[in-house]
Amino acid sequence: MPDPAVPPTPPVPLAALLAREDLGLRQIAGPSDPSAVIHWAHTSEMADPYPYLLGGELLLTAGVHIPEAAGSGTYFDDYVSRIVAAGGAALGFGLAPVHDTVPRALVAACDTYELPLLEVPPRTTFSGVARAVWQLMAQARHAELRRVTEAQQSLAAAASRPDPVPSVLRQLAQRLGGRAVLFGPDGAELASAGRPAQPVAREALVELAQVVRPSGPGTPTAATHVTAGTHLAAYSLGAGHGFVLGVAVPGREAGDHTIASVAAVLLSLLTGEHQSGSGAARASALVRLLLGASAEDVAPLLGAGEWIVVHARPDPPTAPDPVAASALGAALGSPLVDVARDVVRVLLPAEREPGPQPGWTLGVSAGAGPAQWAVADAQAGRALARARATRAALVRYGARPALADLVAEEDAEGHARSLLAPLAAPLPETLRTWLSLHGSWDRTAVALDVHRNTVRQRIAKCAALLEADLDDPDVRMELWFALRRP
């Protein structure tokens, strides 16, 4: 079965939890693995907790669910095997108030299925264990953020040195405790730094670099692999240039991907732009726009064909960090990135099909020519709102032909303006979002970042101003057609 998707939280070493003297926890079964970690604590007295586990938990139970004859059958084997199947990291058994000792059959089952079993003394509450887990997690998060911040600063300083590329590679290798390699468009190793990797790992890293080197639609911008105990990663440095950053480290730690992504962004600026002239082309496009040229006139400087717009918001929603936004652009394969308030916008050629990005919620427009970039921008914003409302990692704007396309553009726009004339901002956008989410108050509130009562008040005001019954499907359909006009 597939590996469980553990929560996106920094892991806590199980040994660190056992070392807390205030808890008095004791491991009495299962392997004693120093590398064992947990991602959170969860309490359950269900006989089968499988449906309620995400993976990586320390499951706490007082044994309320255990029947009297459990020790003579397969109850404990079934119970422990289901926890392991769900990806549970460890089991904590409380000695009070139901049981005075941990059942022997449970100890045997945990040894059989190699699940760490912790004895929780009567003086220690489950809430106290959970609090200790969150405290350790907060400490780990703080340490991770401090490490990433220090690495970002050192990489930025290295990029400003007279020998920026070797300096960035040296800093990256030092921060990750491994080796960093820059591969050229032909696959040759141009520069490297850090401890040498094993020959088999070096060969595997060369092959991994080929995986991310741009070769057509669908080419990934990053890839990872483990060979001979060495963790490998490769990052494409800008679309179309062919430069690749390779990393080989003995062990992957929290924050490594973020640090390597920052280095990839810096190296893409130091290599791809100068080698391909794309930086000069973008600068020329910007100057021409500022001097009054149209998007159609400057688009050839950026590349031929249709384009798509991507709107992205961090998870959880926060003000996007410029470095993280640049890393997102690198992951999507485009340096055309704009941080606008709480949304990151990325413009990229339509043939580069964007995929979900960890830590981001994405809305993707339909393909559009330069004359329709503003329309595509609005489409991406609507797709992002729907993605957030439906808790999807990525939503693409539906661009298939519809009945509305049978009506002349001028007639459709005139009808839409006449029908929606009584509505002033923000009512049209609220109504459009509410209709797109099938009248869901809660999802509309999430998509618009307002309270559900605000949504109700706005929809009621729309109904009054339009003098329309919004429960009538014919009315909803007509309004939807009108609201879909750009």
Residue 416 counted as domain residue? yes
Same domain, 386 and 415: no
Mean pLDDT of 361-366: 91
Mean pLDDT of 120-135: 95
Residue 324 counted as domain residue? yes
Which residue shows structure tokens 């920052």? 262
Residue 252 counted as domain residue? yes
Same domain, 319 and 268: no
Q: What pLDDT shows up at residue 269? A: 78
Print burial letters for 373-384: b (CB count within 10 Å at least 16), e (below 16). bebbbebbbbbb
Cβ-Cβ contacts under 8 Å for 379 (sequence gap 6 or more): 309, 365, 366, 397, 399
Question: Residue 431 sits in a domain of what CATH number?
Answer: 1.10.10.2840
Same domain, 106 and 38: yes
Q: What pLDDT shows up at residue 403? A: 52
Residue 473 φ/ψ, nearest 5 degrees: -60, -30
CA distance 252 to 257: 9
Residue 413 counted as domain residue? yes
Q: What is the pLDDT of residues 233-248, one digit of tens each?
A: 999 886 556 789 999 9
Q: Is the per-residue pLDDT at 11 higher than 90?
A: no
Last residue of a domain, one of 396, 426, 461: 396
Residue 290 counted as domain residue? no
Last residue of a domain, one of 135, 151, 176: 135
Mean pLDDT of 320-334: 73
Where do runs of H (alpha helix) occur along 104-179?
Answer: 104-112, 126-159, 164-176
How many degrees, rounded to 5, is the angle at CA 187 between CA 194 and CA 308? 105
Same domain, 305 and 267: no
Residue 371 φ/ψ, nearest 5 degrees: -65, -20
Q: What is the pLDDT of residues 86-96, one digit of tens each?
A: 999 999 999 98
CA distance 429 to 114: 55
Same domain, 388 and 411: no
Same domain, 168 and 206: yes
Same domain, 65 and 171: no
- Extract the runs of DSSP E, i.e. beta strands, from 342-453: 343-349, 360-364, 394-396
Q: What pLDDT shows up at residue 142? A: 87
Q: Is the per-residue pLDDT at 290 higher than 90?
A: no
Residue 478 counted as domain residue? yes
Q: Judge if pTM exceeds 0.75.
A: no
Q: What pLDDT shows up at residue 249? A: 92
Q: Give CA separation, 385 vs 325, 452, 465, in Å.
A: 19, 15, 25
Q: What pLDDT shows up at residue 275? A: 46
Q: What is the pLDDT of residues 367-400, one digit of tens each?
A: 888 878 888 888 898 889 888 888 888 998 875 5
Residue 141 counted as domain residue? no
Same domain, 392 and 444: no
Q: What pLDDT shows up at residue 369? A: 83
Same domain, 374 and 467: no
Question: Residue 102 sits in a domain of what CATH number?
Answer: 3.40.1390.20
Same domain, 17 and 125: yes
Last residue of a domain, one of 135, 151, 175: 135
Token couple for 462: 């729309």
Among residues 314, 334, 319, 321, which one has the least CA distance to residue 265?
A: 334
245: phi > 0 → left, psi -120 to 50 → alpha, else beta; which? beta
pLDDT band at 213 (very low <50, low <70, confident <90, very high): confident
Give the number of domains in the chain. Answer: 4
Whole-number mean pLDDT of the chain? 84
3-class DSSP state for residue 423? coil
Handedness of CA 439, 441, 446, 451 (dihedral sign): positive
Mean pLDDT of 428-454: 89
Give the residue numbers spanning the domain of 258. 161-275
Same domain, 129 and 19: yes
Q: What pLDDT shows up at residue 276? A: 47
Of 145-154, 265-274, 390-399, where does mean pLDDT reach its minimum? 265-274
Same domain, 203 and 96: no
Q: What is the pLDDT of residues 34-86, one digit of tens each?
A: 889 999 899 999 999 999 998 999 999 999 999 988 878 899 999 999 999 99
Q: What share of the chain is helix, strand, coil (3-state, %, to 5)?
A: 45, 15, 35
Residue 428 counted as domain residue? yes
